[in-house]
Chains A and B, each alone.
Chain A
Amino acid sequence: MGILSKKDANLILDPLADNNPITIQVLGICSALAITAELEASIVMSISVLFVMGVGNVVISLIRNIIPSKIRIIVQLVVVATLVIIVDLVLKAFAYELSKTLSVFVGLIITNCIIMGRFEAFALGNGVWRSFLDGIGNALGYAAILIIVGFFRELLGSGTLLGIPVLGDPIEKTGLYATGYENNGFMLLSPMALIVVGIIIWVQRSKNKALIED
């Protein structure tokens, strides 16, 4: 981390572990439940959020001194919505295939409370560079959880990873299925995402007792 001072580096590293937006700040849970049935969707969502948070935090930080405080939430919402719509249009025009995969997430990104949360908590009071790092850091922390949850839900629910069968064929009963193993269809339903996130929170807090609140 030669190019970043220790303080700046922490902006990226903290959200990955001890200040994770999902497991510690409990933001962005809704999208974590909705789209993690497949690993691929989790990855695509992570990248989209990474982009919107990085750019969004920079924009908000740039205009932080001229935003009227009475309507700051509306301004934040407008910035996210504009960014997301422009990205969506550009993808539709130049990367049509990708845009079809992403279309489901557009609405979810606008309402993702991590984005609004970081605008409000960080970008409104900090400089452009630090806001950018904070945005990237939190998006990465979000991505880490999404990808872990997506990995387990797709593996245990469908027996595939990124759509590729890794445990054998459930209908022909080959591979692991020959031993009587069955896919757990329950993993594909949203409540199981909550339980997986719960397990991650449990593991994280039992490793670092300082995180446990009284």
Chain B
Amino acid sequence: MEKRTDKNSYTIIFAVAMVVVVGSLLAAAASGLKPNIDENKRLEKQQNILYAMGVNENDETSANFVSTDVAPKLFNDYIKKQLVIQNGETIEDTTAYLIDVKKEKTLAKEDGYSRRLPLFVGEKDGKTYYIAPIRGKGLWDAIWAYVAMDENMIVQGAFFDHKAETPGLGANIKQRFFMDDFIGEHLRSEGKFKGITVAKGNADPKNNDKTDNEVDAIAGATITGDGVSAMIKSDLRLYAPYFDKLKTN
């Protein structure tokens, strides 16, 4: 005799029941945990921005954020202005840091939409930092960064992160040895925006020359490195007019 569980009708009922149970379970988990997850992401953005301008708890070799308990307070203390640049116009917006760079990039592909570019102006020890979020593609998935610059577009600090680069290779863009190489590096060359290239076969592996618009690549992470170069070129370039204006004023 055929077993009960071999019947077609049983199989179909089981499949339907399974989808309903699993579907509701996942939906409940996702919506129930969403507020916590969103809050974590908001705090992370504040931590990232603060990290780029040098407000962090780095020790000698590893990169450490300020703790999430103090991040909102420090963010209010250090970030003096949050700007949104759109169509060359600059307005202040205290929630600029919540702008989703990914969404803006997608929207910008449509005709007639000009991206809203968030820029954060921070002050530490009498120095002004301009911090821009940028986003691009690595080998497997998205990569992004927060780059802090001075008024001459010289990098003062950078924080890189990624969604799914290879551990030990591309994932190392968030290691100090890579991020710290950007500090002091010029984004302009002879007055014009040039970007910074992650270069293989760099003649300057210790990165003593800060005006060559190059940092040393990570061995085995060529595509991630190219993604970093491309992201800096395409996204930070959009901020160049703002800095040009800053100079003439």
Q: Mark A residues whose CB is within 8 Å of B.
A: 34-35, 37-38, 40-41, 65-71, 74-75, 78, 82, 85-86, 89-90, 92-94, 96, 103-104, 153-154, 157-158, 163, 171, 185, 188-189
Contact = CB atoms under 8 A, between A and B. Distances in A.
A75 B18 contact: yes
B88 interface: no
A66 B5 contact: yes
A85 B29 CA distance: 9
Given A68-B5, A157-B168, A188-B219, 20 more contacts: A66-B5, A68-B6, A69-B6, A70-B6, A71-B14, A71-B15, A75-B14, A78-B18, A82-B22, A85-B26, A86-B29, A89-B29, A90-B33, A92-B36, A93-B37, A93-B40, A103-B163, A103-B164, A163-B61, A189-B220
Contacts of B6: 68-70
B126 interface: no
Given A66-B5, A89-B33, A188-B220, A41 B11 contact: no
B87 interface: no
A68 B220 CA distance: 47
A91 to B, nearest CB: 10
Contacts of B241: none
Contacts, number: 81
B113 interface: no
Q: What are the 6 tightest A-B residue pairs by CB atom distance, in nearest-first order?
A: A37-B168, A93-B36, A41-B167, A68-B11, A93-B33, A96-B40
15 contacts: A37-B166, A37-B167, A41-B168, A67-B5, A68-B10, A78-B18, A78-B22, A82-B26, A89-B30, A89-B33, A90-B29, A90-B33, A103-B164, A153-B168, A188-B168
Contact of B36 (A34, A94, A189): A94
Contacts of A154: 168
Interface string B206-229: 100000000000011000000000
Contacts of A185: 219-220
Given A171-B205, A185-B219, A71 B11 contact: yes
Nearest to A79: B22
